[in-house]
Structure 1
């Protein structure tokens, strides 16, 4: 049944023009995205031994080598796929990076940001305002490079469009820009370095930078604005305001591999680093940190939060196909702060395809009451019921409002318990006709 649902999702999404960008060779990507290099794969004379030494280092040695490198070496290293892969795929721990960065002199920070923007822009543990400067420099370099491959130029164009904002919009920060293959990107709406409430939104299948980043960032903006309206009822937090991270920080599966958990495990590792990076940068002033995970993204989040390597203050799952996690007690989330929502016309929610359905009463998550109606915090507001698999975070829905309430520490206003429609404890998913019905209008990313 899940295969049929995914096929329908794919057909509808492709009919709307949402397709994944063609794969671009790593060497072409790095040479085009790096700033101040001497040409694709050709470091400046005399720098190669230093770059080789940096490429062979790891952990604290790698950080120390970056600090000691001359500008010419940094520029060459930023054009070397071995060095950039360390920053993106196998970096030092976020605490090591954060402490290293704090100890650097202002001159060293400036040199690293200017001469190694690809490395610094993608290094968890570096402050997000710095990463934004570095990644925007790499973005600009890639967009102006006449040798940039067409597919890469299209991807970078989508990132640039995602960063556009009206004068009254909240500030956006480009905190991840990995242009290898089909790409990875993360854009924060609001300041991750200072916000009291931080939400990380994790997408599900069929999301790509070239196809969905503009819409995904706009969705983060909708979550941000809904949270901002709740400031009068928000629980106290350590910091002003809120921030929402549109985290397309892993490659999501397509129709050929959506039944595999391989990408979920890879994504979980990256999500752990992202969450730990937020904690490390904030040091003693910790935000209220929550994850909002949709579809396959909830499977990814469950793997990350059951690893014992990270923790958050809340987890909200929407349209989840489940995971091997069988109880909230296995998660790095306070008891009572795990939430689950499933729309009536969502063919994915409740399937338990990847193991246990988190909507089962035995799992222990609080079920969201998504039928719509008035706001318990303000009787003047009325919200509509979400329907399709991609409807949860649209403006005006009860689900978006619930997500925002949880993010600002008011999950007490959204708990509905478990009703008679829950999956029985015998583990058998009771199919109903509407589980097989998916309308094209339900699959549109936005109205």
Structure 2
């Protein structure tokens, strides 16, 4: 396998994306020539029936029809490949220009730029400061330059990583265009099997995973899905279809292992033990996943993109289901849930909510001229250990209260969620990146906000949060989003608002009743800690931050006259209405579809 690394600046300078335009032109010329030649041949073959009949004539025409079919496949591949090459040239040139622009700006400001993108303040800058001010002022100025250099380093290294992702995207698009032709990457020569390239480390970047997958032949890919599915089932950056089939293939073995562990737990610890209960719950998790994904080939397709039910993988089972195909969709959403979410109790309803959201997003696209053909995939992601307040005993209540009242679970989940976002971009088959919307509910909105602030950046364009206690951010810029692309919804009677009534919380009794009488189940010391400037790491109330766009959650009428049902409480946001669609579902679907103008503002 050719190792995929983030390019250096010198390598970026040497790249010539315009060479892809030349390749595209040559493929277009070949496609045009073949098309014209085959039209002439078709007429000749058709005319041959008048003078060349019998078995020999029919055999010749049958042979020609086979050649014609193969040639038509080649013509389509050349056409699609030329489009992919031109798109890649534009995409790579844009990323290259951004990098070289940042390098030029840093050099003009007299910074030193290392080949890996590290920017440092220089002796020349210090000398200049010292010559124009006193030593104390020079030290302050140099400290500011050092901070600026760190910010430039972050931005430049992110731009280099973005170029690496764009390179994989171009590779994927061209391979996809030529996949049915012999002699392309991922195709072994006739009569050979090829040696399977060594897989990257499991914590490799998603673009490295996709690059490795692209180097495999179709036979090698099929062999891994069939014989070693655990290698790719939860690996971000691998195509969704392969992950789905691999994870489906894992289910029988996982069930056997869990049932064996259940028998052992019953014999060793008894059926009233925590160990037995945990294994039993994990079997229920697997049952729920099997029911939620349905049969292969269902419409719309459901893809099992995460499956982790064995003890040791996490405190709880984890799963993610995509409705629609995220590898080909123009628009993708990922919904992250919050408090008390479990796979066994939530993956089914979240999968149905994802399907409802997709249906509404597709409906809005169909009603928009010029956007009718765009497609949507919505993903229910339970890929982290959401806080749980279920225990009847006091220690359990305290532990759950601490989990939901602190950011630890969200910080853990944010790392996995950020990788998942990046994996969606790396696995996408389009020549251009998909439009991705991050959706977060309740504590899951904090996980979402922290995921968007992970080092290395993300491909997310829009964020929608509802019922949010905080997202650890003051502005869209904190989240790596453009102004106007962060949206918040909150019902008038959502008890989550009490999370920001700190004085009441701090004076509460040892344990407040109910998980949503926020900060429900929290010790007074934890609640009092929220009174700090960052509210215990949750950040300010997003519903009160003017930099975020507040969308309507109550009853509304759309511009085209649709009557929308309002949501109430803390859990209605993604659910279907009693008599029709809720405003919160309509608004979220509008953002997912890239139709922000449809959304109803407060």
**TM-score normalised by length of structure 2:** 0.52
Q: CA deviation at 1:197?
A: 1.1
Matched residue, 2:387: 253
Conservation of the 8 A alpha-carbon contact between 2:587 and 2:600: no
Q: CA deviation at 1:144?
A: 5.4
The match for 1:186 among 317, 320, 329 is 320
Distance in 1 between residues matched to 2:540 and 2:495, nearest whole Å:
16
Distance in 2 between residues matched to 1:252 and 1:316, nearest whole Å:
19
State the secondary structure of the residue aligned to 2:384. Answer: coil
State the secondary structure of the residue aligned to 1:201. Answer: strand
Residues 244-268 of structure 1: CA deviation (Å, up to 9, x unaligned): 0000111101121211211101111
Distance in 2 between residues matched to 1:312 and 1:371, nearest whole Å:
27
Residues 1:291 and 2:291 are matched in the alignment: no
Conservation of the 8 A alpha-carbon contact between 2:552 and 2:601: yes
Matched residue, 1:39: none
Matched residue, 1:411: 596
Residues 88-113 of structure 1: CA deviation (Å, up to 9, x unaligned): xxx10001111111111222212222
State the secondary structure of the residue aligned to 1:316. Answer: strand
Matched residue, 1:339: 487
Matched residue, 2:426: 280
Give unpaired runs (5+ residues) of structure 1. 1-65, 75-82, 418-447
Residues 1:139 and 2:251 are matched in the alignment: yes
Compared CA separation, residues 249 and 388, structure 1 to 2 (3 A)? same
Matched residue, 1:383: 564
Compared CA separation, residues 336 and 215, structure 1 to 2 (3 A)? same
The match for 2:555 among 359, 364, 372 is 372
Matched residue, 1:315: 463
Give unpaired runs (5+ residues) of structure 2. 1-194, 263-279, 390-399, 501-534
Residues 1:400 and 2:585 are matched in the alignment: yes
Conservation of the 8 A alpha-carbon contact between 1:185 and 1:247: yes
Conservation of the 8 A alpha-carbon contact between 1:190 and 1:244: yes
Residues 1:302 and 2:449 are matched in the alignment: yes
The match for 1:153 among 273, 283, 287 is 283
Conservation of the 8 A alpha-carbon contact between 1:238 and 1:286: no
Compared CA separation, residues 394 and 261, structure 1 to 2 (3 A)? same
Matched residue, 1:203: 337
Residues 13-72 of structure 1: CA deviation (Å, up to 9, x unaligned): xxxxxxxxxxxxxxxxxxxxxxxxxxxxxxxxxxxxxxxxxxxxxxxxxxxxx9457xxx
Residues 328-349 of structure 1: CA deviation (Å, up to 9, x unaligned): 2211222111100001111114
Conservation of the 8 A alpha-carbon contact between 2:558 and 2:600: no
Residues 1:227 and 2:361 are matched in the alignment: yes
Residues 136-158 of structure 1: CA deviation (Å, up to 9, x unaligned): 00113333565363443222111
Conservation of the 8 A alpha-carbon contact between 1:194 and 1:240: no
Q: CA deviation at 1:125?
A: 0.8
Matched residue, 1:356: 540
For residues 161-180 of structure 1, the aligned pairs below 5 Å read 161-164=291-294, 169-180=299-310
Compared CA separation, residues 340 and 253, structure 1 to 2 (3 A)? same
State the secondary structure of the residue aligned to 1:299. Answer: helix
The match for 2:412 among 266, 270, 276 is 266
State the secondary structure of the residue aligned to 1:121. Answer: coil
Larger Rg: 2
Distance in 2 between residues matched to 1:110 and 1:332, nearest whole Å:
37
State the secondary structure of the residue aligned to 1:230. Answer: helix
State the secondary structure of the residue aligned to 1:390. Answer: coil
Q: CA deviation at 1:416?
A: 2.4
**Per chain length, whose mean CA-contact separation is higher, i.e. which structure has more relative contact order (CA < 8 Å, sep 6+)?**
1
Conservation of the 8 A alpha-carbon contact between 2:366 and 2:372: no
State the secondary structure of the residue aligned to 2:464. Answer: strand
Conservation of the 8 A alpha-carbon contact between 1:192 and 1:278: yes
State the secondary structure of the residue aligned to 2:574. Answer: coil
Distance in 2 between residues matched to 1:350 and 1:67, nearest whole Å:
56
Q: CA deviation at 1:169?
A: 4.3
Matched residue, 1:42: none
Conservation of the 8 A alpha-carbon contact between 1:220 and 1:245: yes
Residues 217-255 of structure 1: CA deviation (Å, up to 9, x unaligned): 111111111112112245867984111000011110112
Distance in 1 between residues matched to 2:388 and 2:358, nearest whole Å:
28
State the secondary structure of the residue aligned to 1:191. Answer: coil
Matched residue, 2:352: 218
Conservation of the 8 A alpha-carbon contact between 2:410 and 2:444: yes
- Pairs aligned (count): 332
**TM-score normalised by length of structure 1:** 0.69
For residues 13-32 of structure 1, the aligned pairs below 5 Å read none
Q: CA deviation at 1:306?
A: 2.2
Distance in 2 between residues matched to 1:113 and 1:235, nearest whole Å:
40
Compared CA separation, residues 322 and 120, structure 1 to 2 (3 A)? same
Distance in 2 between residues matched to 1:404 and 1:195, nearest whole Å:
14
Distance in 1 between residues matched to 2:363 and 2:412, nearest whole Å:
35
Distance in 2 between residues matched to 1:273 and 1:401, nearest whole Å:
28
Compared CA separation, residues 238 and 315, structure 1 to 2 (3 A)? farther
